[in-house]
Amino acid sequence: MAKTPGQGLRHLSLLNNFLDVSEKFGNGNLRSHSALTKGEQQFLKISVEMGFPNSEMAPKFEMGIQSNKTVLSLKIELAKKLHCNWDQIKLVRGYGNNYNNG
């Protein structure tokens, strides 16, 4: 408890600064509460388009991931499958029914 009004404001200011820093830089590899439990399994259809002359040659696959995973977690999983760094992956939402299993 704050003993003077000035200390209370100082505590709130420190807490505010802590939250700002954790928003920018994460919270030290701690997982959020919702990520501690497994979410609903969802399947994404992935089509790699960079580095191939046409979309027919591009590799396509399906990948399962829990619904409460972050975009960063998805990028890390994709990077493992594609043998690259996660920051080299650009996610683009596909429209229509352009994904073929062949």
Instruction: For residues 59 and 47, give the distance between their C-alpha atoms in angstroms, rounded to a whole number.
Output: 6
In degrees to the nearest 10, what's the CA dihedral of 13, 16, 17, 20? -160
Give the start-to-end residue ranges of the domains of the chain.
1-30, 36-102
User: Per the structure block, which two tokens stand in for 70?
Assistant: 């972050």
pTM beyond 0.85: no
pLDDT for 2 equals: 54
Q: What is the pLDDT of residue 102?
A: 44
Predicted local distance difference test score (pLDDT) of residue 91 = 83
In three-state secondary structure terms, 52 is coil
Q: What is the mean pLDDT of each run of 10 residues along the chain (102 residues)?
A: 72 81 60 65 83 71 84 88 86 64 46
Find tokens 């977690």 and name the residue.
73
> What burial class does residue 35 get, using C-beta atoms within 10 Å of its C-beta: 0-12 exposed, 13-18 middle, 19+ buried?
middle
